[in-house]
Structure 1
Amino acid sequence: MKKKVSIVDIAKHVGTSTAAVSYVLNGKAKEKRISKDLIDRIKKAAEEMKYTPNLVARSLRRGTSDTIGLIVPDISNSFFSEMSRYIEREAYEMGYSVIIGNTDEDAVKSARIIDVMENRQVDGYIIAPAEGSEEQIQSLVNKKKPIVIVDRIFNSLDVSRVVLNNHKATYDACNCLLESGYQHIGAMGYKTSMVHIRDRFKGYKDALKQSASPQKPKFIEIDYHNSQNEIEKSLNRLFNGKNKIDAIIFLTNSLAVQGLYYFMKNGIKIPHDVAIIGFDGNIAYDLFSPSLTYVKQPLKEICSQALKCLKNQLDGENITAHIKLEGELIIRDSCKNPQAITKYININQSKVS
């Protein structure tokens, strides 16, 4: 194996000290008053000798790694894969690399990923946390690690966060269906204690409660790890009996996709038999006919705001930011009477506290 080129090799080649080579390669030549001629010779030698820095050693010397840890709960979910792409791209422009960890909604796996990232000496974290991982995040806070949580929050943690106004998103979605004339509206989400899903359920229930003709909520909670079987059984119940639904709001995009599969398999026509509103964008929403009405999260802004908050912490600012962004209801063909609901289009504001 060919020996890795070191700063000692470059110093011997140029005929100077290892200190001078280190100053030049670490951007400190100007403050050390190294001549332009020597700077040019060192840089040329480093290039010709194909020198690559020892990032671990550099990290130990500087106390930073120029690396961000991004932890998401389900990389197969298009929302989180897009989030990863946006954050990696923008972080690169800021001079940071990104290490991505996928927890599969498993707090035990989340703890292992954090241990690995701590050993890799990441400078800070952006985390969409798994249920049950609040103690892990609190441990990072106790270590004074820069951290921002996105999409999901724990009310017990006082950390920077960038999230959707989930209550208003489903409140508006449900009102959209009510004003279109639907009288038996259901909702389906995952069984969880996570605040974002609880807020979505509450927005749905509050809209029904405050409507001109209040309805009894018909909401179903699905076990994440057994979702397909539970979805079929639950939708069978909702579509049978005298109080069957005529509209449904799926509180995540993965549930919406599985729901669409159920409707297709059982010959249920949209929107003739049932209206649908989904959550987040998904390629299946575009491939399905009729096209799906859904709540769009401002994903690019979520990622930009999260990186901005994290960079402020990395720069030494001791500020905890709570940022809540508004969604946009994308009106398409899976609901009847769209002209009655145009007031819900292009709602896209943000609130920072």
Structure 2
Amino acid sequence: MKKITIRDIAKQAQVSISTVSFVINGKGEKMAISPAVIKKVQNVAQKLQYKPSMIASSLRTGKTRSIGLIVEDISNQFFADLARVIEDEAKNIDYRVFYCSTGDDNNRSEELIQSLLQANVEGFIITPTKNLEKTISHLLKLQKPVVLIDRYFANQKVSHVVMDNYEASHSAVKFLIGKGFRNIAVVNNKSGMVQMKLREKGYSDALKEEGIFNENHILHLDYQINEQNRTESIVHFFKENPMIDAVLFLANYLGLAGLQAFRRLNYKIPDDIAVISFDDHDSFKLHTPTISVIAQPIEEIAIKSIQLLMSQMTNFSDFKVEKVLKTGTLIVRESV
């Protein structure tokens, strides 16, 4: 299909190319073009389904009406769902979203940020890697609007929107204790990111308050290991600790690996072990039995992150840093 240009609009509207250019760029009245001609050009442009060039527009105005979204893993359902809502919200205000994954690799994160800077995106929504604090500070010095999601740096003055990870984990473990479970394990990664630390602390504190904390019931896995090795490590851990009667997985990919491990161990859920995982996943809903989860408020996080970013983009010199905590939801299914 032929790309429609302002020349095509000018020919059909029977006006000059410069007249079309002024109207398309919102300068019709300023250039003393009559309301009737402005309306005629707009009608022809709409009829021909004219779409202005983003590159040409950005060269002219310095604005690309684009946002860079950098997440850990776009293939992870949590981040995919989050990206989808952010894209929808951005579309509502006529912004495009360029999104990409870091794989929790700091070098990759820095490369992606540089690429998006070269593309002249107007703001960033970032799930930061562990060592990205200096790069984010550099973005702020460049007066680039930034909002962090899912995780943040405790001492950095940058807006963020995250779930209250401590409360979510603490409440989930208290729920398990209330159901009579006493040997409750947790499976975490070794990333050291703040959200994972808070989830583990919520778990530990809940057990300590009941006097039943056992540090041997904590499993830490390398983030970068493949799924097979992750599953094997979980199998080994539960073979070494057969008294465990419940487990909290601190990310959905850990929970999915756990389900594979339990299948190999011939564990029956919830008879042999009760299971709760952070971050919902379609597989948890389809599994037999269905798996209980701590669901993040994805829509709330996405909408608020766009709002905070827009406040910076419209008034960077006078915006206020906001650190927003959203409440997660424990969805109880058949696994407890």
Tell me the amino acid that sits aligned with residue 267 of structure 2.
I
1:137-148 alignment runs, 5 A limit: 137-148=136-147
Instruction: Tell whether the 8 Å contact from 2:234 to 2:258 is kept in structure 1 after alignment.
Output: no
1:114-125 alignment runs, 5 A limit: 114-125=113-124
User: How many Å apart are 1:210 and its aligned residue?
Assistant: 0.8
1:208-259 residue CA offsets vs partner (Å, 9 max, x unmatched): 1111x33223211111111531442344233335x63111100001100110
Cα distance in 2 for partners of 1:69, 1:150 equals: 13
Partner of 1:320: 321
Instruction: Tell whether the 8 Å contact from 2:181 to 2:246 is kept in structure 1 after alignment.
Output: yes
Q: 1:265 to 1:25 in 2, by over 3 A?
A: same
Instruction: Tell whether the 8 Å contact from 1:5 to 1:49 is kept in structure 2 after alignment.
Output: no
1:163-184 residue CA offsets vs partner (Å, 9 max, x unmatched): 0111111111111111111111
User: How many Å apart are 1:284 and its aligned residue?
Assistant: 0.9
1:145-175 residue CA offsets vs partner (Å, 9 max, x unmatched): 0110000111232111000111111111111
User: How many Å apart are 1:50 and its aligned residue?
Assistant: 6.7
5+ long unaligned stretches in structure 2: none
RMSD: 2.4
Tell me the amino acid that sits aligned with residue 326 of structure 1.
T
Cα distance in 1 for partners of 2:12, 2:277 equals: 65
Instruction: Tell whether the 8 Å contact from 1:14 to 1:41 is kept in structure 2 after alignment.
Output: no
Partner of 1:334: 335
**Secondary structure class of the residue paired with 2:299:** helix
Q: 1:112 to 1:333 in 2, by over 3 A?
A: same
Q: 1:23 to 1:180 in 2, by over 3 A?
A: same
Q: 1:225 to 1:17 in 2, by over 3 A?
A: closer
Q: 1:292 to 1:52 in 2, by over 3 A?
A: closer
Cα distance in 1 for partners of 2:3, 2:183 equals: 72
Cα distance in 1 for partners of 2:255, 2:134 equals: 31
1:35-83 residue CA offsets vs partner (Å, 9 max, x unmatched): 1222134335546777543322311222211111111110111000001
Partner of 2:212: 214
Q: 1:156 to 1:37 in 2, by over 3 A?
A: same
Q: Structure 2 length normalisation: TM-score? A: 0.91
Identity of aligned residues (%): 34
Instruction: Tell whether the 8 Å contact from 1:252 to 1:280 is kept in structure 2 after alignment.
Output: yes
Cα distance in 2 for partners of 1:165, 1:139 equals: 27
Cα distance in 2 for partners of 1:134, 1:7 equals: 48
Instruction: Tell whether the 8 Å contact from 1:187 to 1:250 is kept in structure 2 after alignment.
Output: yes
Cα distance in 1 for partners of 2:46, 2:296 equals: 45
**Secondary structure class of the residue paired with 2:321:** coil
Number of equivalent positions: 332
Instruction: Tell whether the 8 Å contact from 1:165 to 1:324 is kept in structure 2 after alignment.
Output: yes
User: How many Å apart are 1:302 and its aligned residue?
Assistant: 0.5
5+ long unaligned stretches in structure 1: 336-353
1:56-95 alignment runs, 5 A limit: 56-95=55-94
Partner of 2:275: 276
**Secondary structure class of the residue paired with 1:225:** coil
Cα distance in 2 for partners of 1:304, 1:3 equals: 34
Partner of 1:5: 5
Residue 224 (structure 1) aligned with residue 228 (structure 2): no
